[in-house]
Amino acid sequence: MADSTNLRSTDRSRFKIPQVLKHMRLHHPNCPSKHRGAIVARVAGRAWIEANIGKAVGITMDCYVRHTLTEYEGLLASGMNRDVARKMVKSKVDETIASWAPAPAS
């Protein structure tokens, strides 16, 4: 799901796909397209009543990276406490999200 081709917003979505894609390309341009598509779909699929787009994208990216790009699910499956598992993968989550940010201006 690299772009809006296969993505849909729900009727209750506060943030529509083009708006979320624009935000992702501006603030997280180095996010690989396969991950960007999944994140955009998740943001556009929720109502986000009290969150601005930055917060909605941030929360979604954090959850997406934790659950799909770390060993978090395996830690939970092995019986580890959720809070402990989150602490164990936090640095990888933070590093991954930071690597998707724009390059610093020179």
**Cβ count within 10 A of residue 70:** 19
Give dist(CA 83, CA 106) in Å, integer. Answer: 39
Three-state DSSP class for residue 54 = helix
Nearest Cα residue to 62 out of 29, 33, 28? 28
Residue 7 has pLDDT above 70, yes or no: no
95 CB contacts (<8 Å, ≥6 apart)? Answer: none
Residue 3 has pLDDT above 50, yes or no: no
Q: What pLDDT digit, counting tens, does each position of 15-66 carry?
A: 999 999 999 999 999 999 999 999 999 999 999 999 999 999 999 999 999 9
**Cβ count within 10 A of residue 86:** 17
Region of residue 12 (left: phi > 0; alpha: psi -120 to 50; beta: else) = alpha
Q: What global pTM score does this model have?
A: 0.85
